[in-house]
Amino acid sequence: MIGPTLKISDRSKMPPFMAMDIMRLAAELDANGSDIVHLEVGQPSSSAPQPVIQMLAESMVKQRTHGYSVALGIPELRQRIAEHYQEWYKVNIHSEQVAVTVGSSTAFAISFMAAFDVGDRIAIPNPGYPAYRNLMLGMGLEPVILPAGVKEGWMPRLQEMEKWKKLPDGLMIASPHNPTGVVIPDEELKNICKWCDRNGVRLISDEIYHGLSYTDRCETAFKYNDNVIVINSLSKYFSMTGWRIGWMILPEQLVNAAERLAQNLYISAPTPNQIAAVKAFDCVEELDKHVNRYKDNRQVLLSGLPSEFLGKAAPCDGAFYIYADISALSVDSISFAKKLLDEAGVATTPGVDFDPIDGNRYLRLSFAGSTHSMHEAVKRINKFVEAYKREAA
Ligand SMILES: Cc1ncc(COP(=O)(O)O)c(C=O)c1O
């Protein structure tokens, strides 16, 4: 018997992640034995650091119960994260301000719920990581696009918000940025932090790509603003994407709210992974070797890819992405990415997920893979672009 049609919420009607289409197609081709070069994946191809793996194995062998931890994380990990801020940024953080989360993804949900009410407006840079916008829509918040494209020098500009009738309730920034790899210079970061404080705008700083910068080391926004929510995780520099350990540095005023939300959302981050994660912060030597590889990979792509394919790419000073401007070849990045995958076996991410306005002119290329695969990508893309131009002529 067919019953009455039950409702599906409006809040869940967020845009799909279109890049997943390309990822799925690439995975199918892989499974059929095709030789695909992967520039679409936003995660390290390297393993978690050895001491972390060892610690996990030891804790398993000791048969610790591995039940839930307290919601904000095991004290050893919160303490080690606080020490990490002293080591990397020379800032003092109390371990009570650290909340361990399930990847940084749940940290977004917690910070949006802890700091904002339904209807609040939060400025987000465009292009930007799509989950910010989608999660906000799902929570009844209003993401307000802050242009940060080629015209703005790839940077969110305070002057732009000052032109708005009403300042936003919050501002989200990410440096190094996904998809562009752009790093906000320290002086500008300081300006943004001070401006937010002066204007009562809650700043959320996604620092997940810290440790992956090829010019200067990035400072934490916490250095310049006590009210900022800093979000980070072990997924990128630390090469531990699937371990699902992230964290927030919270202003004291938000700690209790975040604790209640974490208790109700996920009870605790995976306990064995928390125990092992304490070791991650001592593995800088091993992890910096990956950063050197990314640096080489970036150079291979920047010096080897055709100029029509790179176009006016953003200055990729951090993360492991190049946001290539393919507009001289195509203004339909989804079809272009599919053709590139079909004909050259190179998987990339179309810009439309990151930028609903101009994303059809861009492809995101990840250089988190092996240097060998970057050389192969350069060879294939050059051949593809030559054929593409002949076809178009
Ligand atoms: C800018 C940015 N923030 C957050 C995330 C989510 O990371 P995780 O939940 O693995 O910590 C990603 C993943 O690609 C990202 O690019």
Q: Where are the domains of the chain?
A: 19-41+285-392, 50-282
Measure the CA–CA gap between 197 and 55, rounded to whole angstroms: 41
Candidate from 124, 129, 353 with most ligand 1 atoms within 8 A of CB, to mutate:
129
For residue 125, what is the DSSP state? E
Ligand 1 midpoint to CA 104 (Å): 6
Q: Is the CB of 178 under 6 A from ligand 1?
A: yes
- Beta strand 321-325 with 362-366 is antiparallel
Q: Is the CB of 132 under 6 A from ligand 1?
A: no
The CATH number for 50-282, chosen from 1.10.3720.10, 3.40.640.10, 3.40.50.10470, 3.40.1280.10, is 3.40.640.10
Q: Is the CB of 129 under 6 A from ligand 1?
A: yes
Q: Phi then psi for 364, rounded to 5 degrees?
A: -95, 130
Strand order in the sheet with 362-366: 321-325, 362-366, 349-350
Ligand 1 midpoint to CA 383 (Å): 33
Q: Is the CB of 174 under 6 A from ligand 1?
A: yes
Q: Phi then psi for 13, rounded to 5 degrees?
A: -85, 55
Q: Is the CB of 170 under 6 A from ligand 1?
A: no
Ligand 1 atom at minimal distance to the Cα of residue 209: 1
Residue among 100, 115, 50 at smallest CA distance from 249: 100
For residue 227, what is the DSSP state? T
Q: Is the CB of 123 under 6 A from ligand 1?
A: no
Greatest pairwise CA separation for the chain in angstroms: 67
Low-confidence ranges of the chain (pLDDT < 50): none
Ligand 1 midpoint to CA 45 (Å): 15
Measure the CA–CA gap between 368 and 376, rounded to whole angstroms: 14
Ligand 1 midpoint to CA 133 (Å): 13
Q: How many CA within 13 A on the CB side of residue 74? A: 18
Omega within 30 of 0 (cis) for the link into 179: yes
Ligand 1 midpoint to CA 111 (Å): 15
Measure the CA–CA gap between 106 and 130, rounded to whole angstroms: 14
* Contact present, 11 and 139 (Cβ < 8 Å): yes
Ligand 1 midpoint to CA 384 (Å): 31
Angle made by CA atoms 164, 167, 172, in degrees to the nearest 5: 105
Q: How far is CA 196 from the centre of its chain?
A: 22
Same fold yes or no, 19-41+285-392 and 50-282: no
Ligand 1 atom at minimal distance to the Cα of residue 43: 14
The closest residue, in CA terms, to atom 13 on ligand 1 is 42
Measure the CA–CA gap between 196 and 176, rounded to whole angstroms: 19
Q: What per-residue confidence (pLDDT) applies to 4?
A: 76
Measure the CA–CA gap between 69 and 78, rounded to whole angstroms: 12
H helices of the chain, in order, are 19-31, 50-61, 75-89, 103-115, 130-138, 158-162, 186-199, 252-265, 271-277, 284-304, 307-310, 333-344, 371-392
Ligand 1 midpoint to CA 193 (Å): 22
> pLDDT digits over 187-230, tens only?
999 999 999 999 999 999 999 999 999 988 899 999 999 999 99
pTM for the model: 0.95
Candidate from 40, 208, 316 with most ligand 1 atoms within 8 A of CB, to mutate:
208
Ligand 1 midpoint to CA 50 (Å): 23
Q: What angle do the packed helices 103-115 and 252-265 form, to 10 degrees?
A: 120
Angle made by CA atoms 297, 322, 353, in degrees to the nearest 5: 135
The closest residue, in CA terms, to atom 14 on ligand 1 is 42
> Backbone dihedral region of 124: left (phi > 0), alpha (psi from -120 to 50 degrees) or beta?
beta
Ligand 1 midpoint to CA 336 (Å): 25
The CATH number for 19-41+285-392, chosen from 3.90.1170.50, 3.40.50.720, 3.90.1150.10, 1.10.287.130, is 3.90.1150.10
Burial class (CB in 10 A: 0-12, 13-18, 19+), 176: buried
Measure the CA–CA gap between 341 and 363, rounded to whole angstroms: 12
Ligand 1 midpoint to CA 349 (Å): 15
Q: What per-residue confidence (pLDDT) applies to 1?
A: 60
Q: Is the CB of 233 under 6 A from ligand 1?
A: yes
Residue among 219, 207, 233, 2 at smallest CA distance from 99: 233
Q: Is the CB of 378 under 6 A from ligand 1?
A: no
Measure the CA–CA gap between 16 and 379, rounded to whole angstroms: 32
For residue 38, what is the DSSP state? E
Measure the CA–CA gap between 240 and 284, rounded to whole angstroms: 13
